[in-house]
Amino acid sequence: MKPDGPRQQIQPASLSRNLSRSDDDDDQNPNPNPNPPSIDQSLDAIENQLSSISMFQPDSLSEPRMESEELVNGSFDEIEELPAKPAGVEEEEKLKASSSRVWTNASEMEEVESPSSPSSSGYAGERGSSATSGIDNGDFDRVPDSLVPWTPGKRHGDEDDASISWRKRKKHFFILSHSGKPIYSRYGDEHKLAGFSATLQAIISFVENGGDHVKLVRAGKHQVVFLVKGPIYLVCISCTEEPYESLRGQLELLHGQMVLILTKSVNRCFEKNPKFDMTPLLGGTDVVFSSLIHSFSWNPATFLHAYTCLPLAYATRQAAGAILQDVADSGVLFAILMCRHKVISLVGAQKESLHPDDMLLLSNFVMSSESFRTSESFSPICLPRYNPMAFLFAYVHYLDVDTYLILLTTSSDAFYRLKDCRIRIETVLLKSNVLVEVQKSMLEGGMHVEDLSIDSASRSGPVSPHSSQSRLATDSTERLRDAFNGVGGPAGLWHFMYRSIYLNQYVSSEFSSTINSTQQQKKLYRAYLKLYASMHKKGIGPDKTQFRRDENYVMLCWVTQDFELYAAFDPLADKALAIKVCNRVCQWVKDVENEIFLLGASPFSW
């Protein structure tokens, strides 16, 4: 999906030209004012701006239809992403600007060691020698991992850097110490990869010796992303074409997960003794890391830095929140009730706030550790964004197969007190039918794009996915879907994600039938990652939109001070209609926000 076909690129050079251009296009506006006054003024404003921008239309459908347009709130601004550039150039420029070293050419690494010739220094040996060749594998076949359902824990533990299969893995993650000792590898045996680990440390330290930092190495299709966290080095080697910023964010989370298990106090051990081996401290946590890495390909919370709620009737969530609040007042720091990765309710002690990343890491830790499911547990954990140096204590108990309660406290002897709290909470939840509602919601799913109505006179979607009103009620209203020959929602809407900025929560629609395989869902998330990264580069104003068409999707993104909307459409979707549908989605989200978000009494203090 390299949009190197016809594309429109707008340079920031002349504002006046851009403005006049907008004017010129006004009469071509296919959809000058489609909204009745009841619709939020800002929605209309942005819609007008969007529709007033000229579009490139391919001459014929037989041509590869690729276009990419990015526009910034009416006045054209700098293009954030230039996909037509040769790979490497973009990163190089960026990294130059931040005065860091980047090698865009693998041959430069020969200063450290020769990447492609293991026998460069006289070895006749077949295995275990220089390992950088793993990132220089031009002839790269993909191992179809995605066809196999994800299983927890270390896979392919028998592999090492000499294994062909290991070299073909699409995405590697490594954690090592600053002396080059392996701590974690997603694939393969850490000890067998000791030589590879040493190579990574050599590269990082070699650059550091020059008073610089290595952030990224590009080698053919592969990106090698480095993150140095004191004495802990994290490396990702990927050929998934995810943006550098996304991969770096994933390394940050991986480090956060390590801190959640051990706190940053391990750094002190390295200060005292660089030989320090932390693998015994992490014993048995393999599965926590592999589960987090797996979530990078399906959980939007990993890049949206927001959490998501299980859709529930307002009263139901209120009932859950009330009893949690009750225990929070009696010395619990945070009380969190979750169903899988979705929040049912959460409360914090006065003035305490919980970062969405901490919630992600905590729920990943709880869900991936099998022992939490079998009995009530009390475990020291650290919330890296709350206090990375110190432990809290987590009381964890599964109320049913998917629903679990986490009570966080600062006192190590609170187990029995928290157990009593849990019994009280559980009783109330059962009595008020919350757990039954939770199960129902799990079965029904959240927002379905097929339910979105485009009739602007009525409400944008079903009043509530969880009220007594049936979804059928919308069938009588006009649905653009009928006019459009595709599947999914109106105007070819396949999927959307809406992130409320002040709530720090997001809602993601269910996948429409067009994106029903894990493979397709992964692909869509990668498209979202790119979109997200291009919208979050520094130096861009707060209000912006992006419309991007390639052979897979039409992607539409709209970022305001209040929310971010990401939507994926059929690649043949009409632009004006797509914009209209996005407005409806926002209205729909507003209509049901009582049920899809946790409102009020939020412990989030920003």
Partner 1 sequence: MPSRRRTLLKVIILGDSGVGKTSLMNQYVNKKFTNQYKATIGADFLTKEVQFEDRLFTLQIWDTAGQERFQSLGVAFYRGADCCVLCYDVNVMKSFDNLNNWREEFLIQASPSDPENFPFVVLGNKIDVDGGNSRVVSEKKARAWCASKGNIPYFETSAKDGTNVEEAFQCIAKNALKTGEEEELYLPDTIDVASSSQQRSTGCEC
Nearer to partner 1, 408 or 557 (CB): 408
Smallest separation, CB 110 to partner 1 (Å): 7
Smallest separation, CB 296 to partner 1 (Å): 19
Smallest separation, CB 310 to partner 1 (Å): 22
Nearer to partner 1, 105 or 412 (CB): 412
The answer to whether residues 58 and 65 touch, using CB atoms and an 8 Å cutoff, is yes
Nearer to partner 1, 37 or 210 (CB): 210
Nearer to partner 1, 69 or 286 (CB): 286
Q: How many residues does the chain have?
A: 606
The answer to whether residues 558 and 545 touch, using CB atoms and an 8 Å cutoff, is yes
Nearer to partner 1, 306 or 579 (CB): 306
Smallest separation, CB 151 to partner 1 (Å): 17
CB atoms within 10 A of CB 226: 21
Q: Which amino acid is at 343?
A: V
Which of helix, strand or coil describes residue 205?
Answer: helix
Smallest separation, CB 178 to partner 1 (Å): 6
Cα separations in angstroms, 261 against 92, 212, 228, 383, 573 = 35, 30, 18, 9, 46
Q: Which two tokens stand for residue 1?
A: 């999906």
Q: Which residues of 443-460 are buried (b: 16+ CB within 10 A; e: fewer)?
A: eeebbbbbbbbbebeebb
Could you give the CA distance from residue 480 to residue 463 in angstroms, rounded to a whole number?
Answer: 18
Indicate the Cα dihedral angle 317, 318, 319, 325, nearest 10°: 110
CB atoms within 10 A of CB 33: 11
Smallest separation, CB 50 to partner 1 (Å): 27
Nearer to partner 1, 48 or 129 (CB): 129
Smallest separation, CB 8 to partner 1 (Å): 33
In this structure, what are the phi and psi dihedrals at residue 116, rounded to the nearest 5 degrees? -105, -5
Smallest separation, CB 161 to partner 1 (Å): 10
Question: SS in 3 state form for 105-145?
Answer: CHHHHHHCCCCCCCCCCCCCCCCCCCCHHHHCCCCCCCCCH
Nearer to partner 1, 163 or 179 (CB): 179
Question: SS in 3 state form for 28-46?
Answer: HCCCCCCCCCCCCHHHHHH
Nearer to partner 1, 288 or 324 (CB): 288
Q: What angle do CA 32, 34, 37 make, to 5 degrees?
A: 115
The answer to whether residues 177 and 95 touch, using CB atoms and an 8 Å cutoff, is no
Nearer to partner 1, 183 or 480 (CB): 183
Smallest separation, CB 106 to partner 1 (Å): 14
Closest by CA position to 464, among listed 483, 484, 448, 482: 448
Nearer to partner 1, 130 or 583 (CB): 130
Could you give the CA distance from residue 243 to residue 514 in angstroms, rounded to a whole number?
Answer: 25
Smallest separation, CB 294 to partner 1 (Å): 17
Could you give the CA distance from residue 375 to residue 373 in angstroms, rounded to a whole number?
Answer: 6
Nearer to partner 1, 91 or 357 (CB): 357
Could you give the CA distance from residue 216 to residue 341 in angstroms, rounded to a whole number?
Answer: 31
Smallest separation, CB 597 to partner 1 (Å): 16
